[in-house]
Amino acid sequence: MDDAPFYPAPGIAYQTLDGISGRYFECLTMRATLTPQACALNFAASTVLGEGRYASCHRCKIGRAHAGERAGLESEDVGWRCCRCGPSGQSRIIGGALCVSCYNRTREAIGMKDGRGSIPVGILEQLRPGWAIVGELPPPDADRPSPCVPLLETSRRLLAATPSLYRLATGCFLLVAVVESLEELHRTIRRKLPGVRVMSAGVEPTLLEFHEVGIDPNEWLRVGGC
């Protein structure tokens, strides 16, 4: 994120550290030395993430200033606790993306089995594989450790009930998620990888359509992703 723009916050003294590029400041809330860019990412995450992550950054004026114009962009996600159904009343958000009932429906769709053991046609016709090819991942921090991202070619099943990430090449990753719409896919990308550069993204036919023509959506995505 070295090339992320720098928006100074009023009243903050910035310093440089010996031998390290970039500016830093002391964040009293996080009790940490941060770059303004890292602060902006924390702030952006605090506007959307469930599970109390970055809760201390929520509505922070310094964070909002560091996020610059991007604060406006991120605010479109306010109220979307669950990336699919929005202000879900359920407290748990699974995989940082879905409420429990949306997660369970997705799992039934992927397993092709509902609670009674039959094919959940109604769910399959609403859900579709979504994918995005993205650039370098946001820098890891204490709350979001550096993910160990598997290579695409060594992963057999790409679709899971929560968004998954695969390495395509150096600095190039594939995010795969089961979604209802392109809007949900973009919400998921902003949630999971705040600030990431999206090179291309799209959604595929519904899982019901895949089922009807007998094509495995995992294979379909693999061919598209390589």
Which one, 102 or 179, has the nearer CB to Zn ion?
Answer: 102
Q: How far is the CB of 101 from Zn ion (least distance, A)?
A: 6
Q: How far is the CB of 100 from Zn ion (least distance, A)?
A: 8
DSSP for 144-203?
Answer: SPPP-PPBGGG-S----SS-EEEEEETTEEEEEEEESSHHHHHHHHHHHSTTPPEEEEEE
Element (H, E) at 126: none
Number of H helices, E strands in the chain: 8, 9
Which one, 84 or 192, has the nearer CB to Zn ion?
Answer: 84
* DSSP at 56: G
Which one, 67 or 99, has the nearer CB to Zn ion?
Answer: 99
Q: How far is the CB of 161 from Zn ion (least distance, A)?
A: 12
Which one, 186 or 222, has the nearer CB to Zn ion?
Answer: 186
Q: Which residues pair with 169 in a beta bridge?
A: 172
Q: How far is the CB of 88 from Zn ion (least distance, A)?
A: 4
Q: How far is the CB of 99 from Zn ion (least distance, A)?
A: 3
Which one, 12 or 100, has the nearer CB to Zn ion?
Answer: 100
Q: How many residues does the chain have?
A: 226
At 12, give phi and psi (nearest 5°): -105, 135
Q: Are 138 and 2 in contact (CB under 8 A)?
A: no
Alpha-carbon gap, residue 90 to 83, rounded angstroms: 13
Q: How far is the CB of 83 from Zn ion (least distance, A)?
A: 8
Structure tokens at 85: 């159904």
> Which residues of the chain form contacts with Zn ion (CB under 5 A)?
82, 84-85, 88, 99, 102
Which one, 82 or 152, has the nearer CB to Zn ion?
Answer: 82
